[in-house]
Each structure stands twice: as C-alpha cells, then as structure tokens.
Amino acid sequence: MKLQSSTVLLTGASGGIGNALARELAARGARLLISGRDTAKLATLSAELRSRGAEVSVLPADLSTAEGAERLAHAALSGGVPDLVVHCAGGMSFGRLDAVPAEAITRLWQTNVIAPSLLTRALLPALRKQGRGRLVFVGSIFGSLAFPMYASYSATKFALRGFAEALRRELDGSGIGVTYVAPRYTRTALNDGAPARIAQALAMHQDEPAAVAARIADAVERDRREVYFGFAERIFVKLNAWFPWLVDRGLRAQTQRMRELEPATAGLPRQA
C-alpha cells in the first residue's frame, strides 16, 4: 500500500504513539483525518502538520461510548472512504485487580475493544464497496504475553488481537487487509508514573513513539499482517504459547519485585 496521497483515518492522534504516527504518515504524503478526545492537542497537531504542507482534517471523538464511535464513522465517511484506518486510541490500567475501580475496567473494555469493533463495523460496508483498504489495530505485546498488574489491560489487548486475526480471515479475498501491531513498553504519557517506575526497576526495553510510528508506517507499506516489537519479547510470546509454565517461572522474580514496589507505584487507569 502506498501512503503517498492516501486518505488515513487515525484514532488516538492526541496520544503519544498516535501523535507520532500522525507526523510520520504526513511526512510520507498521506491525507489525514485525525481523531482523539483532547481537542486542544488535536488543534495544535493539525496546525503543525498544515504548516508543513500536510492535508489534515480534525474529527474529535470520545470512543469511550458507542455513540462516539458511530459519530466518528459518519464524519469520516462524509468526505469519502478512507484508504487506511488506524485504530490507535486506547486506555491503560495498572495495579492489582482488586484495586482497579469497576467503572475503570468497563471503560477500558469500551475504549480498547468495543470502540474499534463498532467503528470497524460502521466503516466496513463502504470499504467493501470500495474493494480495497487496510485496517490497522495497535495492540500490545501484553496482548500475547499476560503480565502481572496489567490483568485488565492484557485481557483487552488479547481480545483486540483475536478480533484482528478473525477479521483478517473474514476479509480474505475482499481487497481489505488487516494488520495487528504489538509494541512493547513505549515512552508515552500513558505510561507515566507507576508503569514508568516499574519499567525502570525491571529494566524493561523501552521505545520512543517516533520509532514505533515509523515501524507501523513501514508495516502498512509492506502489507504486513503482524508486527511484534523486540527480539526477546517475541521469544517470550512463542514460549508463552507452547510452554506457559516456563514463562510463569521466568516472571516469578519480576512479579515479586512488582509486589514489593506496588505500594509506592500505585497508578490510576488512563486513556489516550
């Protein structure tokens, strides 16, 4: 797929990876429909990209509600059918499950799973009629490797990965491709505070948003089905699929360290 002159609907553009991805896609010549909850950040981003000659439209949306997803689909289709849809909006929850508010878990599922499902459903008839396009779902390495203190977050990313995989098979032969991207820990505001302190304490590999964005854009242009970040992380994913008990053992020391740090690193659910 050529990004030059293509029309891209990008959700979560006001967040770290989404913000970097908007810049990357614009630099490769794409026309952007950027969406997010933070209208001030979207306005700043759009002004920056337009100053560089990019064609940008702003479509504010709160994807934590079903109505928000429907409204975004209607707005995106009002000017034509996007060539590429990138589901980058997401929420994150860190901490012991019994310490996470019930409403935060509901909101996490709505944002990470239900919203991209509903938005995709609303866009599919037009994409099918067009006979081409690509859907990109930005998940997480935790969508294949469940991690302690991220139970709800991991569950939503497991679900998103399954959705993308099933949809890829469902759309086979339609001209619509599906790409699932699984970044590892990325230095964004979503991971500020407790997750950042845990990542530092456990010496997790960390990526910059711009590097993640470049790999996502490369994956689109190469029609990749899946992209997993990090050699060690990919090995753990394969081990987890075949020998989960080995991963249990491998994470035991890290889990204990997180339990020791947990009182000082308690975090609240957040969205981007």
Confidence of residue 4 (pLDDT cuts 50, 70, 90): very high
Q: Are strands 270-271 and 91-92 parallel, antiparallel or unpaired?
A: antiparallel
3-state DSSP assignment of residue 28: coil
Question: pLDDT higher for 199 or 160?
Answer: 160
Question: pLDDT higher for 69 or 52?
Answer: 52
Q: Is the pLDDT of residue 189 over 60?
A: no
The pLDDT > 70 percentage for the chain reads 85
**pLDDT value of position 267:** 45
**Among 127-136, 178-187, 209-218, the least confident range:** 178-187
pTM above 0.85, yes or no: yes
Instruction: Report the b/e string of 110-124 with b at 16+ CB within 10 A.
Output: bbbbbbbbbbbebbb
> In the chain, what is the straight-line distance between the N-terminal and C-terminal CA atoms, in Å?
27
Q: Which residues contact 128 (CB under 8 A, 6 or more apart)?
A: 174, 176
> 151 exposed, middle or buried (CB, 10 Å; 0-12, 13-18, 19+)?
middle
Using only C-alpha atoms, the chain has a radius of gyration, in whole angstroms, of 18
Nearest alpha-carbon partner for 89 in 161, 23, 137, 122: 137
The pLDDT > 90 percentage for the chain reads 60
Average pLDDT for the chain? 87
Contact 29, 104 (CB under 8 A): no
**Catalytic hit among 150, 153, 180, 228:** 153
Q: Is the pLDDT of residue 240 over 90?
A: no
**pLDDT value of position 207:** 80
Q: Which residues contact 117 (CB under 8 A, 6 or more apart)?
A: 163
**pLDDT value of position 268:** 46
**pLDDT value of position 69:** 87
> How large is the average pLDDT for residues 59-68?
84
- Structure-token pair, residue 115: 């919203």
**pLDDT value of position 65:** 78
The dihedrals phi and psi of 14, each to the nearest 5 degrees, come to: -85, -5
Q: Is the pLDDT of residue 135 over 50?
A: yes
**pLDDT value of position 13:** 94
**pLDDT tens readout for residues 245-270:** 877 777 766 666 666 666 544 444 45
CA–CA dist 259, 265 (Å, integer) = 10
> How large is the average pLDDT for residues 182-193?
70
Instruction: Report the b/e string of 198-233 with b at 16+ CB within 10 A.
Output: bbeeeeeeebebeebbbbbbebbeeebebbbbbeeb
Amino acid present at 72: L
**pLDDT value of position 259:** 66
> How large is the average pLDDT for residues 216-230?
94
Q: Is the pLDDT of residue 187 over 70?
A: no
Confidence of residue 93 (pLDDT cuts 50, 70, 90): confident
- Structure-token pair, residue 157: 């990313």
Contact 8, 82 (CB under 8 A): yes
3-state DSSP assignment of residue 194: helix
Confidence of residue 203 (pLDDT cuts 50, 70, 90): low
**pLDDT value of position 264:** 43
* 153 labelled catalytic: yes
